Amino acid sequence: MKTSPKRSSPGRLAKTKKPAIRKAKHDTRLQDAGQYLLPTYKRQPVVMTNGRGAYVFDSTGKKYLDFLGGIAVNALGHAHPRIVKVIRREAGRAIHLSNLYHNAFQGPLAHKLAVWSGLDRVFFTNSGTEAIDGALKLARLYARKPQEVPGTTPTKYRFLALDNCFHGRTFGAISITSTEKYRLPFAPVVPGAEFVHFNDVTDLEAKFDDTVCAVILETVQGEGGIYPVSEAFWNRARQLATQHGALLIADEIQCGLGRTGRHFAYQKFSAKPDIVVIAKPLAAGLPLGAILVTEAVAACISPGMHGTTFGGGPLTCATALEFLSIVEDEKLLENVRERGAELREGLAKLAAKFDFIREIRGEGLMVGIELSIDGSPFVVEAMQRGLLINCTHDYTLRLLPPFIITRAQVREFLRLLEQVLAATPKQSASSEAATSSHPPRATHASAR
C-alpha cells in the first residue's frame, strides 16, 4: 500500500490523473465496513487515513484540499503542532478522571468560554446533540413553577424551533428538528415542539404565548443550507422570550466559535441569548460540546439533576483550551473574515459564469453555493479532482474550510471549483427535493 506523503507543500495540490477515486474494492476495511457497520451513511468508497493542515490523504496516497473540515470540526485543519503536543502530553497524564472531582482544565475552559460568549456558566457534554438535549431540559426546569408537581406537564412546556433547522439526532434534538425524515420515523417524539417559518416575525408572534418555555435558533442554519437568521427576527425572538418568561437558545454548534469571523455568530446582534450550545470545533476534533448559560438559568439546577460521564474530561478540555488560545494567538478570526471575503468574491465571479448558480450565502468561512440543479454530482466530481466539499438539502454546496486556510489555498480552491462546475454532468434536482426539503425562497429573502 502506498503511504501518504509526510509533508505537503501548502497551497499546492498533488497532480492527480483524472478522474480516479480509486474504488478500493479489495480493501478489507471497506468490506468490513459494508458488512458490519449500521448502514446510516452513504459513504464515498475511499479510506481517509491522515491529514496535514488543510489537506487530507486517502489510503492510496491521494491528496484532497479539505473545504469541508469534517463538517465544521477541523477549524485548525489537521495535525496542528500545538494541538498534537497537548494531546500527547495529556494522554500521558490522564485521559479520563470523573466529574466527581475537579480536573485542571474544566474550570479554566469554562472561564474562557464565559469571556468569549458573555454568558456565565458552562456544562460540558460529548457532542452537540447531547448539549441540545441538556439545553431543552434546562428550559423545562427554568419554566417549571414551584407549585407544579414534578411528573405532570407544566403550563410552560412548548419549544419553538424554525423550519429548515437541524439540531441533532437524540430524541430531544430530533423533536425540535423540522426535517421530517429525521423525526417522523421515530415518533412519538418529545411533545411540545412547533416550527415557525424561517425569519417570519408574524408567524413567530402568532405561535408565541405563555406556554412557550424556549425558542431555539441556529444563528446561521448550517445543514439547512447556510441561512442566517435576520436581525429583525432575532430581536423579536428576544423580546417575546423576555415578555413570556421563556428562554432564547442559540444553537451555535456549526456557526459558533469563530466560524463567522466573530467568537459567536449572535454577536452581530446587540441582544444576547440565555443559552448557547456549542460543539464541533471546540476540542479540535476530540468529542466535546458545551451548554453556556446565564446565571439566572444556572440557578434552576442543583446537583444530581443532570450529568455525563465523558463530558469535560481532562484531555478534551486541555485541547479545547489550546484551541481557543490558538484562535487568539494566530489571529484566526481576522483570517476567517479576510479569507471568507476573498472566497465570496471569487464565488461571485463564478456565479456570473455559471447560470445554474442561484445564490452565494454565508459569512466568514461558512458559505453556501445554491444551485438550481442537483448538487451531489458536483461533490463526486470535486473528490475526483482532489477537493472535499459537501452538498446539503440537494441544491446547496456547503463550504466549511479550516480557519487556517491561506490566500493561496482559497485561490487553489476557486481554480478547482471552476473546473468542477464546468466538467460535472448537469442533472436536474428531483421534483420531490425541489418542493419538499428546500426552504421557500420568499421566506429567506430578508436573510440575504
Ligand X SMILES: Cc1ncc(COP(=O)(O)O)c(C=O)c1O
- Interface residues toward ligand X, by CB under 6 A: 71, 127-129, 132, 166-168, 218, 222-223, 251, 253-254, 279
Residue (57 or 227) nearer to ligand X, CB: 227
Cβ–Cβ < 8 Å for 114, 277: no
Closer residue to ligand X in complex, CB, 134/168: 168
Taking residue 274's Cβ as centre, other Cβ atoms within 10 Å add up to 24
In whole angstroms, how close is the CB of 138 to ligand X at the nearest point?
16
Q: How far apart are CB 362 and ligand X at their closest, in Å?
A: 14
User: Min. distance of Cβ 205 from ligand X in angstroms?
Assistant: 24
Smallest gap from residue 131 Cβ to ligand X (A): 8
Backbone CA torsion sign across 328, 334, 337, 342: negative
Residue (199 or 409) nearer to ligand X, CB: 199
Q: How far is the CB of 128 from ligand X (least distance, A)?
A: 2
Q: Smallest Cα–Cα separation from 116: which of 254, 5, 264? A: 264
Beta strands in 164-294 (DSSP E): 193-196, 212-218, 220-221, 227-228, 247-251, 275-278, 289-293
Cβ-based nearer residue to ligand X, 163 or 251: 251
Asked if 249 contacts 216 with a C-beta cutoff of 8 angstroms, the reply is yes
| Residue closer to ligand X (CB basis): 68 or 382 | 68
Nearer to ligand X, 203 or 223 (CB): 223
Residues shown for the chain = 448
Residue 15 CB contacts under 8 Å (≥ 6 apart), including other chains: none
Using the Cα atoms of residue 353, residue 357, residue 363 and residue 364 in order, give the sign of their dihedral: negative
Q: Are 310 and 95 in contact (CB under 8 A)?
A: no
Residue 29 C-beta: closest distance to ligand X, Å: 23
* Nearest residue (CB) to ligand X, 26 versus 181: 181
CB of 437 to ligand X, least distance (A): 16
Closest chain position to ligand X (CB):
128
Closest CA to 240 of 277, 194, 271, 275: 271
> Which residues are 388's β-sheet partners?
66
